[in-house]
């Protein structure tokens, strides 16, 4: 629990307690609990869910003892959520008052009975313009399954009208890569996704695309229980997937494309590059750098000990240039693309440029930004049902009929946010928001 979520010294009244819990609920972002997005994604999701859990329990010790349990009403991610939907009043921005249930518990034999209060705090609905009104060209419906009946796992937007998809034959079994075209309303096959024989716990992890090719990395365990990492690619025009690299020396945390070469970074740092066709691996950097989105890399990796750490530089690997990031004292969790940064200061979300200019405070604790902490397209921040445009200052909100929502599973921050057209956990169609289709000035 962050220090800002702890009860203030001297807090004794129910009003004080509810006020503190309201603030905690407002600061708590919705977790992006996505099923079947691979080992790295599951670790990141668990960390964010744990942050929510840490913010959800408050114990107040005073003259008597009040043990308080907070239940946050939030949507959650794909496959996880609650059937409770906002009321019409809440949808219009009104906020339901916290409800307090009081009961007597058994204390020690020599002590007075304890009082237990269960306080249900509903986070305030974010202000903003409905997605369909603000960015109508970026919103569309598409089937949730391919022609074989395999469920789609959206990856990212290739451009304004095409979306990259993984089709899974069963849970966490990606079998095909496909592209859905919003202009034709049809999907086409890019490549079959092979599974390397002899590897157990095998799963294709994050993918990336540059509009010409798609690359992804996969991981599994060999017969000696060594973790194996692989790098694959295929042309978007269609063709056989090619494996170009296998290693047991390190785990991969991000992948990118640089023309006719694939680039990847290791969990413990270092960036390498290899041609789509060829055998020579080039070490671009042996520093503790991690790919953000080619050609950009930062000095913060993906680990439980880096959530509060600040990125201190951004490196252009193509040009070999480095930009130091200006950090205000007290800032935590700062993450930067080449144009925009976001983080937290005094338990408030903030945005700024890498040089410290353009500093602004945001309502609440900031944005979790799906499965990547970096700004989407170096322009958008997303968390739960809210998307914020850093360039225009506009905020869009999503109203879901069901109890779950998801984000794309690309290596870089995905342009895709999706949810069910109907309230079922496995709907027949998805609503898709493709931020790559939002015009520059809109």
User: Over the stretch 352-382, which tens digit does the pLDDT of each residue have?
Assistant: 999 999 999 987 666 765 668 899 999 999 9
Query: Are 366 and 348 contacting, i.e. CB atoms less than 8 angstroms apart?
Result: yes
Query: Are 104 and 155 contacting, i.e. CB atoms less than 8 angstroms apart?
Result: no
Assign 402 a pLDDT band (cuts: 50, 70, 90). confident
pLDDT computed for residue 302 by the predictor: 77
pLDDT computed for residue 169 by the predictor: 85
pLDDT computed for residue 82 by the predictor: 33
Residue 422 corresponds to which tokens in the numbers above? 């109907």
- Per residue, the 3-state secondary structure of the chain, as one string, reads CCHHHCCCCCCCCHHHHHHHHHHHHHHCCCCCCCCCCCHHHHHHHHHHHHHHHHHCEEEEECCCEEEEEEEECCCCCCCCCCCCCCCHHHHCCCCCCCEEEEEEECCCCCCCCEEEEEEEECCCCCCCEEHHHHCHHHEEEEECECCCCCEEEEEEECCCCEEEEEEEEECCEEEEEEEEECCCCEEEEEEECCCCCCCEEEEEEEEEECCCEEEEEEEEECCCCCEEEEEEEEECCCCCCEEEEEECCCCEEEEEEECCEEEEEECCCCEEEEECCCCCCEEEECCCCEEEECCEEECCCCCCCCCCCCCCEEEECCCCEEEECCCCCCEEEEEECCCCEEEEECCEEEEECCCCCCCEEECCCCCCCCCCCCCECCCEEEECCEEEECCCCCEEECCCCCCCCEECCECCCCCEEEEECCCCCCCCEEEEEEHHHCCCCC
pLDDT computed for residue 124 by the predictor: 53
Say if residue 15's pLDDT is above 60.
Answer: no
pLDDT computed for residue 172 by the predictor: 62
Q: 107-121, 162-176, 188-202, 208-222: which has the minimum mean pLDDT?
A: 107-121
Residue 241 corresponds to which tokens in the numbers above? 């997937």
The pLDDT tens digits for 28-76 are 444 333 333 344 444 443 433 443 333 333 333 333 333 322 222 222 3
Say if residue 271's pLDDT is above 60.
Answer: yes
pLDDT computed for residue 179 by the predictor: 98
Residue 97 vs residue 378, higher pLDDT: 378
- The average pLDDT across 242-250 equals 96
pLDDT computed for residue 1 by the predictor: 42
- The average pLDDT across 387-397 equals 94
Say if residue 185's pLDDT is above 70.
Answer: yes
β-bridge mates for residue 143, sequence order: 429
Cβ count near 212 (within 10 Å) = 12
Say if residue 162's pLDDT is above 80.
Answer: yes
- Mean pLDDT, the chain, as a whole number? 78
pLDDT computed for residue 386 by the predictor: 92
Say if residue 16's pLDDT is above 80.
Answer: no
The answer for residues whose C-beta is within 8 angstroms of residue 249's C-beta and 6 or more apart is: none
- 237-to-211, 259, 337, 338 alpha-carbon distances in Å: 10, 15, 30, 30
- The average pLDDT across 150-164 equals 97
Q: 42-46, 67-71, 107-111, 233-237: which has the minimum mean pLDDT?
A: 67-71
- The average pLDDT across 97-118 equals 39
Cβ count near 342 (within 10 Å) = 24
Say if residue 350's pLDDT is above 70.
Answer: yes
The top-scoring range by mean pLDDT among 10-24, 115-129, 141-155 is 141-155
pLDDT computed for residue 364 by the predictor: 67
Global confidence as pTM? 0.75
Residue 197 vs residue 47, higher pLDDT: 197
Cβ count near 97 (within 10 Å) = 10
Q: Is 351 exposed, middle or buried (0-12, 13-18, 19+ CB in 10 A)?
A: buried
């Amino acid at each position: 629990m962050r220090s800002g979520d702890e009860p203030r010294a001297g807090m004794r009244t129910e009003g004080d307690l509810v006020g503190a819990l309201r603030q905690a609920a407002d600061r708590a972002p919705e977790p992006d609990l996505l099923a079947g997005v691979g080992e790295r994604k599951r670790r990141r999701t668990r960390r964010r869910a744990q942050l929510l859990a840490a913010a959800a329990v408050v114990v107040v010790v005073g003259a008597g003892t009040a043990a308080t349990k907070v239940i946050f009403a939030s949507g959650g991610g794909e496959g996880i959520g609650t059937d409770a939907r906002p009321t019409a009043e809440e949808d219009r921005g009104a906020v339901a008052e916290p409800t307090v249930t009081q009961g007597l518990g058994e204390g020690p034999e020599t002590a007075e009975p304890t009082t237990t209060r269960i306080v249900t705090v509903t986070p305030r609905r974010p202000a903003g313009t409905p997605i369909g009104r603000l960015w109508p060209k970026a919103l569309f419906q598409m089937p949730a399954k391919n022609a074989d009946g395999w469920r789609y796992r959206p990856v990212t937007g290739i451009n304004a009208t095409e979306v990259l998809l993984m089709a899974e034959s069963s849970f966490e079994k990606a079998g095909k890569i496909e592209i859905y075209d919003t202009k034709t309303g049809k999907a086409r096959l890019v490549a079959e996704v092979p599974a390397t024989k002899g590897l157990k716990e095998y799963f294709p992890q994050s993918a990336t695309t540059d509009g010409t090719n798609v690359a992804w990395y996969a991981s599994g365990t060999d017969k000696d229980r060594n973790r194996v990492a692989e790098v694959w690619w295929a042309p978007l025009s269609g063709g056989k997937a090619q494996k170009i690299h296998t290693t047991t020396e390190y785990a991969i945390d991000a992948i990118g494309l640089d023309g006719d070469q694939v680039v990847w970074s290791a969990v413990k740092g270092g960036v390498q590059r290899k041609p789509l066709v060829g055998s020579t691996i080039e070490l671009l950097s042996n520093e503790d750098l991690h790919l953000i989105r080619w050609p950009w890399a930062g000095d913060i990796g993906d680990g439980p000990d880096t959530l509060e750490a600040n990125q201190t530089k951004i490196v252009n690997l193509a040009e070999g240039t480095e930009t130091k990031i200006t950090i205000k004292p007290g800032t935590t969790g700062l993450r930067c693309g080449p144009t925009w940064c976001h983080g937290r200061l005094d338990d408030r979300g903030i945005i700024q440029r890498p040089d410290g200019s353009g500093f602004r405070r945001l309502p609440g604790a900031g944005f979790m930004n799906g499965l990547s902490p970096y700004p989407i397209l170096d322009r958008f921040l997303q968390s739960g049902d809210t998307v914020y445009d850093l360039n225009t200052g506009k905020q869009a909100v999503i109203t879901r009929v069901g109890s779950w929502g998801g984000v794309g599973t690309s290596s870089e921050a995905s342009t895709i946010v999706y949810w069910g057209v109907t309230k079922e956990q496995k709907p027949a169609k998805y609503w898709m928001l493709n931020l790559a289709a939002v015009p520059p000035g809109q």
